[in-house]
Amino acid sequence: MKVSPVKSSGLSTFAGVFTPSILTILGVIMYLRFGWVVGNVGLLGSLLIVTLATSITFLTSLSLAAIATDQQVKIGGAYYMISRSLGIESGGAVGISLYLAQALSVSMYTVGFAESIVQIFPGLNEKLLAVGAILFVAGVALISAKVASRVQYFILAAIAISLVSLIFGSPIESTEIELWGASPERSVPFWVVFAVFFPAVTGIDVGVNMSGDLKDPAKSIPKGTFMAVGAGYIIYMALPVILAMRADASSLIEDPMIMRRIAFWGDAILVGVWGATLSSALGSTLAAPRVLQALAQDGVLPRFMAGLGKGSGKENLPRKGTLFTLVFTITAVLLGDLNVIAPVLTMFFLTAYGVLNFSAGIENVLKSPSFRPKFKVHWFFSLLGAAGCFGVMILINPVATLIAAIFVFLIFFWLKRRGLKKTWGGIGRGVRLSLIRFSLMRLSEDADPKNWRPHLLVFSGAPQSRWYLIAVADDFIQGKALMTVATILTEVNVTKKRLRKMEIHTREFLAKRAIHSLVRIIPSANPFTGAKTMVDHYGLGGLVPNTIILGNTTEDSHMSDFCDMIGYFNKLQRNVLIIDIEEDYKKSSKRSIDVWWGGLKMNGALMIIMAHLLRRSFGWREAELTIKMVVPNESAARDAERNLAEIIEKMRSNAKYELIVSGGRSFPEILKNESRTADLVFLGLKTPDDNYPLYYRTLQANTSHLKNKIFVLAGEDVAFEKVLF
């Protein structure tokens, strides 16, 4: 069946983000509780609360902008962003919290609307008025997102008129500006006031959650959000000055409609508060069902709620989700009032904002290759925002913070146990596969030598028989790069099932010894031919082993095939490390490493890189690295010393160096004298040629006195010297 693509309603930045965000910011708290805030904590306390709350929102806006410009933001807004960054379990846990916060926002705004009417007409029932308001805004939301956005323009104009009327108002009594509000016995604590106020600056969620209806979410979300946060901050910093100059603390605390008495035209405040509360309720009514719709589409919600993910009409309106939210908000209205709902909202919003900041911060810290936002934010600001959210939660109410954390973790573990597979085909695995695919497609494009890592293919045979090869390889990578333990099985007629069982057994054997490695076993009549075949075909895209680790050969009859294999690997541009060390590698001494050096190019640079990686391992951390170079005479030694000292200083490898004057001695003789006590010696190999078996036999004879050595042949087309500097 062919499914037609869903068309976005194409809302602009102003209509889809700025307007609903600023209307939510300039809402019920501003009109009905801001006087109470100023009365309780005074002018300076109010400015501090506004600055602190807006700072948290602004830092969250930065993180939000980074994530929004990194990926295509679809329906669900903040939930969509978090789930695609931290995984569906984390995203689902926060998404459900975010939905509850948005739905409770509708209850708070409509309760505020009803409270303002009851202040004028005391005989009316506040609960019924609030329920009627919910039914009204739900009806508008069910019609169209575009219709809802047009209604908001008239409300924005009404709010602007009410603020102008307030500015040109006059004092209602003789008063002095009270910097810290009413006396302690007549006021409530600072953090309680903060908890009531904070929902006033949470309007950024409305614009984000409308992402599915925006023409250009990546552009509109950052721009519209910053505009709304900035405008809201200016207004909230000006209002305390006006209120503190025109009424005393007691009047501000006791009269929720104090602005009406202060304003030049009092009824303009009524129009503003009614418009603001209804528009804020409308914005949250548009946003909450869209979060619910995204949760249902991703399979986060229980199966019986799957229908909430279906949209209606060309605009893909979440009508079922709106009806569900309608029932939820009416229930909340019947059970609570404004001062009860607002602090609960604060906890939910701070939780969602904290995780959003944490998500953006961790993406930056880890430098994930998939995180490349157009709007760049330093990780410090994102993590500062996260710390601010969680810190303020604890200051407001430690018990409520603990309950919120338990709530989120319970949802997380519930989702984890369900093992969701609907969205990405298997929760953790699906996300990892998505990241692997993304990285693989770009790996070959990111061939900067500075990012080089050894990707090892270790031909160990049966791991038990040549364990030292695996142990040395693990010391090279220390869990920071990829390694594959490979075996060429020379048996014939081996079934795929048996090979699979052998791979599982080998993987378990390695895991018990804390070796994290891939495992590959292939059958071949000839081990050398099998090794060539594996190197030819093993890997995926740009992710192929770049360094082959082999054991030394002791069979003269194998020498020709062995050398031919080395030449083959070199032609394939693979680095080759031939490890010839004591079998009891774990107990062997690891206090000195000699690198016999002939210059930076090819083998020289790679040997120092591998020696440096080895010294970062636990066993070799105390080893002294000495770079040794042979020169023909004293004059050459003086010239070489200047260059070598400068090069080693630039390498930042904490290595020593020794210049040995040959004095007519052969290199094997020098090697025997100078490295006879070294615990490990690195030696370069020449490029393979037709006489390589003879060369290699001679090399074995000349190094037989060395107890541990690694022969290095650089074959990869990489400027290894750039890795060092």
CB 290 within 8 A of CB 163: no
Query: Which distant-in-sequence residues (6+ apart) come within 8 Å of 241 by Cβ?
Result: 43
Tell me whether residue 442 is in a domain. Answer: no
584 shares a domain with 511: yes
Cα separation, 12 vs 124, whole angstroms: 39
Q: d(Cα 703, Cα 126) in Å, to the nearest integer? A: 94
Tell me the β-bridge partners of 521.
487
Q: CA 639, CA 637: separation in Å to the nearest integer?
A: 6
Residue 1 counted as domain residue: no
Query: Tell me: the pLDDT tens digits for 210-221?
Result: 666 677 777 788
Alpha helix ranges (H) inside 367-519: 379-396, 398-418, 427-443, 467-477, 496-512
- Long-range contacts (CB closer than 8 Å, 24 or more residues apart) made by 49-52: 49/190, 49/193, 49/194, 49/197, 50/197, 50/201, 50/233, 50/236, 50/237, 50/240, 51/233, 51/237, 52/194, 52/392
> What CATH number did the domain enclosing 55 receive?
1.20.1740.10
Residues 63 and 95 in one domain: yes
- List, for residues 310-326, the tens digit of each pLDDT value: 877 776 778 888 888 88
Q: Residue 519 in contact with residue 506, Cβ under 8 Å?
A: yes
| Residues 476 and 411 grouped into a single domain | no
> What local confidence, expressed as pLDDT, does residue 691 receive?
92
C-alpha 29/C-alpha 40 separation (Å) is 14
Other CB atoms within a 10 A radius of the CB of residue 558 amount to 13
Residues 550, 579, single domain; the answer is: yes
Assigned token pair, 625: 């690295």
Let me know: does 272 contact 58? Beta carbons within 8 Å.
no
Contacts of 213 (CB under 8 A, 6+ apart): 8, 9, 10, 11, 16, 145, 315
- Residue at 5 is within a domain: no
CA distance 283 to 285: 5
In angstroms, how far apart are the furthest CA atoms of the chain? 114
Domain-embedded: residue 488: yes
Tell me whether residue 465 is in a domain: yes
In DSSP notation, 90-133 reads HHHHHHHHHHHHHHHHHHHHHHHHHHHHHHH-TTS-HHHHHHHH
The answer to whether residues 397 and 457 belong to one domain is no
Name the nearest CA neighbour of 475 among 590, 624, 597: 590
pLDDT at residue number 428: 43
551 secondary structure, DSSP code? E
Token representation of residue 393: 């939660």
Domain stop point among 433, 457, 479: 433
Q: Tally the residues of the chain.
A: 725
Identify residue 520 by its one-letter amino acid code: R
Query: Residue 238 and residue 139: Cα distance in Å, rounded?
Result: 35
Q: What is the CATH number of the domain that holds 464?
A: 3.40.50.12370
Closest CA to 139 of 414, 334, 326: 326
CB 222 within 8 Å of CB 64: yes
Other CB atoms closer than 10 Å to residue 419's CB: what's the count?
10
Same domain, 105 and 180: yes
Please count the other Cβ atoms lying within 10 Å of the Cβ belonging to residue 451.
10
Could you tell me whether strands 709-713 and 575-580 are parallel, antiparallel, or unpaired per DSSP bridges?
A: antiparallel
590: in domain: yes
CA distance 129 to 539: 67
For strands 518-523 and 592-596, give the pairing.
Answer: unpaired
Q: What is the DSSP string of 573-595?
A: T-EEEEEE--S-GGGS--SEEEE
- CA-to-CA distance for 671 and 685, rounded, in angstroms? 15
Q: Rounded to an integer, what distance in angstroms lies between the CA atom of residue 377 and that of residue 366?
A: 14
pLDDT confidence of residue 472: 93
Amino acid letter for position 246 = R
Task: Write out the two tokens for 124.
Answer: 């009316």
Q: What is the pLDDT of residue 207?
A: 61
Residue type (1 letter), 207 = G
152 and 269 assigned to the same domain: yes
- C-alpha span between 318 and 306 (Å, rounded): 12
Classify the C-alpha dihedral 263-269-272-278 as positive or negative.
positive
- Clarify whether residues 470 and 329 are in a common domain: no
- From 373, 403, 433, the end of a domain falls on 433
The residue segments making up the domain with residue 241 are 13-433
Region label for 487, one of left (φ > 0), alpha (ψ between -120 and 50) or beta (otherwise):
beta
Helix (H, G, I), strand (E, B) or coil at 687: coil
How far is Cα 397 from Cα 195, in angstroms, rounded to an integer? 9
Using CA atoms, how far apart are residues 562 and 569, in angstroms rounded to an integer?
A: 11
Looking at the fold, whether 282 and 405 belong to one and the same domain comes out as yes
Is 271 among the domain residues? yes
DSSP 153-192: HHHHHHHHHHHHHHHT---SS-----TT-S-GGGS--HHH
Three-class DSSP labels, 47-91: HHHHHHHHHHHHHHHHHHHHHHCCCCCCCCCHHHHHHHHHCHHHH
12 burial level (CB within 10 Å; 0-12, 13-18, 19+): middle
* Domain boundary pick from 407, 433, 459: 433
Q: Is the dihedral of CA 287, 289, 293, 296 positive or negative?
A: positive
Residue 583 lies in a domain: yes
* Residues 253, 186 contacting (CB under 8 angstroms): yes
C-beta neighbour count of 35 within 10 angstroms = 29
CA-closest candidate to residue 520, choices 554, 544, 552: 544
176 and 75 share one domain:
yes
Terminal alpha carbon distance of the chain: 58
Is there a contact between 86 and 382 (Cβ–Cβ < 8 Å)?
no
0.95 cut: is pTM over it? no
- Dihedral sign (CA 122, 127, 128, 133): positive
Residue segments in the chain with a per-residue pLDDT below the cut of 70: 1-10, 71-77, 85-86, 144-149, 203, 205-213, 315, 336-339, 366-372, 419-448, 723, 725
HEC letters along 260-321: HHHCCCHHHHHHHHHHHHHHHHHHHHHHHHHHHHHHHHCCCCCHHHHHHHCCECCCCECHHH
Q: How many structural domains are present in the chain?
A: 2
Q: How far is CA 62 from the centre of its chain?
A: 14
- Mapped onto helix, strand or coil, the DSSP state of residue 620 is coil
Both 161 and 74 in a single domain?
yes
Q: Is 503 found in the same domain as 409? A: no
Report the distance separating Cα 427 and Cα 96, nearest Å. Answer: 17
